Amino acid sequence: EAAAGIPDLMQRVLTDEAIRFDVAGARNLICAGEGYAESVGEEGAIKFRETLCRPVTSFETSEFLHGSINSVDADTAVIVVATNALGSHLSDQAVVGAAERGASTVSIGSAESSPAGRHVRLPAAPSHWMPFLAILPLQLAAHDAALVLGLDPDTPRGLSKVTRIQEMSAT
């Protein structure tokens, strides 16, 4: 039953202007998620890398807290995604720690609130279906930032549908 409702929830998320957030001014981007949300963080990082043509890192939230959080500063936007209670708990710790180091912070999830500078609240759904909803704000953020930066989000520089790999020389 939950799967049947996901397309309607996705449409609801896509038409909600409140899910949009701005990362165009951040020189460094970090995406993080725990559990099912880890794949959302990685996919978001890929979308930002491809669309904005800049390095973007993705972490499991607990790994980010382990030490990589020390790499953030005022030029960094940290985007955390949570699909369950543990993910929200870790995300809250991550955004507090990142903000203490000067980073701008965004949290994405169905929690009612977050200590992040910007909280994107998603409709509640079973945690294994949340990635379908949680990726949408990341994709829109990449799209919007590309437009602000004068890039074409529909045809990113250097990206093609086919990857051609040169044959290795026999030596």
Please report the pLDDT score of residue 167 as a whole number.
82
**C-alpha dist (Å) from residue 72 to 2, 52, 65, 78, 141:** 37, 19, 11, 8, 20
* Lookup: tokens for 27: 């020189």
Rounded Cα distance, 152 and 72, in Å? 28
Write down the residue that tokens 């409702």 correspond to. Answer: 5
Please report the pLDDT score of residue 81 as a whole number.
98
* φ, ψ at 6 (rounded to 5°): -60, -45
pLDDT digits (tens, 9 = 90+) for 87-128: 999 999 999 999 999 999 999 999 999 999 999 999 999 999
Of 120, 130, 148, nearest in space to 17 by CA:
120
Query: How crowded is the C-beta side of 99, counted as CA atoms within 13 Å?
Result: 16
